[in-house]
Amino acid sequence: MTSPFGRTLCAMITPFTDSGTLDLDGAQRLAAHLVANGCDGVVLSGTTGESPTTTDAEKSALITAVREAVGDRASIVAGVGTSDTRHTTKLGREAEKAGADGLLVVAPYYSRPPQDAIEAHFREVADSTGLPLMLYDIPVRTGVRVEAETLLRLAAHPRITAVKDCSGDFLAAQKVLARTDLVYYAGCDEHNLALYAVGGTGYVSTVANVIPAPLRAVLDAFDSGDTAQAARLQQRATPLVEAMMAAGLPGAVTTKALLNALSLPAGPVRAPLRAPDRGTAAGLAALHAKLLAS
């Protein structure tokens, strides 16, 4: 499936200065680095972008700055999902004005609405701008699933075009892929190749912040017909994926620790998140170096 968003998207961190303010220059430099090294899209203000702790004005400023940095070389998908439908539609309109190419909209969290309310929420957001939507299913954070039957109905909306799948339900993803034109992105890096192999379009990757080229190489190998090489490359990345995403710390924390060690723009995380201890940061750096040397 083709997509207006691209194939190899990075769920980009939001760089902050040492004092905790938004680092727009750092965001531009990081976005340009990611695009130069294999990402054809960036997702801003998602989970990895610490969206709960950035203001509406910061979110818009980030889009404008990154647009200036990447031009038309990459898509920009703006995270606008909140637990409030009115606030989400407001953020969507502001993202459109700031230059986003699409919107990432997570299921409303905390209030745990039923499926008909989730469906109505997505439709209202889709109707509020002219931008295509990527729906974000991540029940471990929201407390609710976007059920397959709900996605099947939403697929008929002309601006609901994609899904970022962090559900862990591989069967449901294949069911929706088989019955709709929705394009699917792996939202968990361990699924990048697996979802691609059954018809997914690509990934929205946290780990791509630190290894954009090696992750793209997985999909490139698969596209060239060398599926064995694709599997080897995916497996090569697995130790780092596990350390960054499944070791008990949020991805924003591990990613920023590693980017700082690599002298790439990142800065601190905002409270309530906290930087990892030195041993954890050193372990991440060692795994990264080992992957690049292999």
> Residue ranges of the domains in the chain?
8-225
pTM: 0.97
For residue 58, is pLDDT > 60? yes
How many residues are given for the chain? 294
Residues with Cβ within 8 Å of residue 204, at least 6 apart in sequence: 9, 10, 11, 43, 46, 77, 104, 134, 164, 185, 186, 187
**DSSP secondary structure letters along 185-240:** EESSGGGHHHHHHTT--EEEESGGGT-HHHHHHHHHHHHTT-HHHHHHHHHHHHHH
Q: How confident is the model at residue 281 (pLDDT cuts 50, 70, 90)?
A: very high
Burial of 16 (0-12, 13-18, 19+ CB in 10 A): buried
Q: How confident is the model at residue 2 (pLDDT cuts 50, 70, 90)?
A: low
For residue 270, is pLDDT > 90? yes
Query: Which amino acid would we find at residue 48?
Result: T
* Catalytic annotation present for 203: no
- Of 90, 110, 164, 196, which residue is the catalytic one? 164
| Tens digit of each residue's pLDDT (9 = 90 or more) over 211-264 | 999 999 999 999 999 999 999 999 999 999 999 999 899 999 999 999 999 999
Query: Which amino acid would we find at residue 203?
Result: Y
CA of 120: how far to CAs of 77, 151, 293, in Å?
A: 21, 12, 49
Residues paired with 204 in a beta bridge? 9
Residue 85 CA, chain-centre distance (Å), reads: 21
* Catalytic annotation present for 164: yes
Q: Strand, helix or coil at 136? A: strand
pLDDT at 274: 97
Q: What is the pLDDT averaged over residues 23-30?
A: 98
Percent share of the chain, pLDDT over 70: 99
Q: Strand, helix or coil at 82? A: coil
Phi, psi of 130 (to 5 degrees): -95, 10
Give the integer Cα–Cα distance in Å for 24 and 54: 13
Give the integer Cα–Cα distance in Å for 106 and 278: 33
- Of 136, 184, 185, 196, which residue is the catalytic one? 136
- In the chain, helix, strand, coil percent, each to 5? 50, 15, 35
Q: What is the pLDDT averaged over residues 93-122?
A: 97
Q: What is the pLDDT averaged over residues 276-292?
A: 97
pLDDT at 247: 86
For the beta carbon of residue 250, count every other beta carbon within 10 angstroms: 18
Q: What is the pLDDT averaged over residues 130-137?
A: 98
Q: What is the pLDDT averaged over residues 152-181?
A: 97
For residue 188, is pLDDT > 70? yes
pLDDT at 1: 53
Cβ–Cβ under 8 Å, residues 23 and 69: no
For residue 127, is pLDDT > 60? yes
2 or 276, greater pLDDT: 276
Q: Which CATH class is domain 8-225?
A: alpha beta
Residues with Cβ within 8 Å of residue 196, at least 6 apart in sequence: 186, 202, 203, 219, 222
Residues with Cβ within 8 Å of residue 36, at least 6 apart in sequence: none
pLDDT at 178: 97
For all residues of the chain together, what is the average pLDDT? 97
